[in-house]
Every structure is written in C-alpha cells, then in structure tokens.
Homo-oligomer: A and B are copies of this chain.
Amino acid sequence: MKLLEDRIRTDGTVKSESVLKVDAFLNHQMDVKLFMAMAEEWQRLFAGKQIDKILTIEASGIGIAAIAASVFDVPVVFAKKSQSINLDGTVYCTRIQSFTHGKVFDVIVSKKFIGEGEHVLLIDDFMANGCAMNGLIEVCEHAGAVVEGIGIAIEKGFQHGGDSLRERGYDLQSLAIVESMDPETGEIVFR
C-alpha cells in the first residue's frame, strides 16, 4: 500500500537492521485517518469473505483493529496480556514470545467472545517472527473459530513469520512488507 510505504519513509526511523520505529503515526501516536485508509484496503483485499469478528492483541493492535471494526461493521476483541481481576477463569490462554519486548507473556481471551464456527479476521500493527499471530490462531483453533484472514500493517519480511504463515495457507495481507533496512542511510527496501 503506497500510502503506508510513503508514510513509513517520511515519518519512520530505522533504529537498527531489525528495528523500525513508527511511533509517530502507528503505535504510540496514532493517525486514525491513515488507519481508516488501511481498513478500507483490507476491506478490498478480503472482499467476499465472511468476517464476523476482528481479533487483535493489546496494546498497539487495538487502535488499528477498532478502526477496522468500524469499517467492517463487526465487533472487535483484544487478547489481554495478563490476568485481570475483572476476568472470569473461563478463558483461552496462550504464551507469546514478544520480539519488541524480548520476553514471554501469557495472553488470554474470554471464551464468551470467540465462538465455534465464527469467522475471524486477525489484525495487528507489526509482524516479525509471527509469534503473536500464531498465539491468536491457537486461540481460534481452541475455540473452533475459522481464521478467514490476517491483516498486518507492517511485516518485517526478513524475519519470515509472514512467509511461514503464507506457506501454512493463511490469507495474510500485509500493507507494507519491509525487505531490508539500513540504519546508516535510513534506506528502507519494500518487497
């Protein structure tokens, strides 16, 4: 998606060969007009598919997924990173290794909100090694829900989480795929 690639070139910063900072518009300050355009692009890419619900993961996926849910006209559920006293014991739980935070954490989704036979679209801001999406896929499998597609804003193509999901047959639509980055020059090559 040219609009997103242009924005990454303009307002993103290459911090290292593997770290791209896009906190000016994607995952700290959020440009919801851009999110609206991204959601409309996913609507085009997933046209003809039945989508009953959007599933994302806290925290930086929530804004994009909420705007996408308003465009797809469906509810959105976000997987929670830690047990809150406000959650029942009746949850799906999975462990996720975070690239950004460099640690493992538990993720939970209440069984009430992902049902058998529901058609789910997974949405997130970034994909690196794919661990977060694999966790959400696991939750959907436990629930007997159908993963209709996966919408990612920025995929790090060089970390192969996305390629692995495509090989497994998932309809993964990343709006920008970074093939390589040069922290010296700031140059970003998109697939």
Contact = CB atoms under 8 A, between A and B. Distances in A.
A87 interface: yes
Interface in A115-143: none
Contacts of A32: 66, 69-70, 75-76
Contacts of A190: none
Interface stretch (A20-28, A40-48, A155-163): A20-28
Copies of this protein chain in the complex: 2
A66 B28 CA distance: 12
Nearest to A65: B63
A84 B70 contact: no
Contacts of A82: 101
A4 interface: no
Contact of A85 (B65, B66, B67, B102): B102
Q: How large is the interface on A (under 10, 10 to 19, 20 to 34, 35 or more residues)?
A: 35 or more
Contacts of A19: 85-86
Contacts of A21: 86
A145 to B, nearest CB: 13
A64 B67 CA distance: 10
Nearest to A28: B110
Given A86-B21, A87-B28, A70 B70 contact: yes
**Which of A30, A78, A87: most chain B Cβ within 10 A?**
A30
A146 B39 CA distance: 32
Contacts of A63: 62-63, 65-66, 76, 78
28 contacts: A19-B85, A21-B86, A23-B87, A25-B75, A28-B78, A28-B87, A28-B113, A29-B76, A29-B110, A30-B75, A30-B76, A30-B78, A32-B69, A32-B70, A33-B70, A33-B73, A36-B70, A58-B59, A59-B80, A59-B81, A62-B62, A63-B66, A63-B76, A64-B66, A66-B67, A67-B70, A84-B100, A85-B101
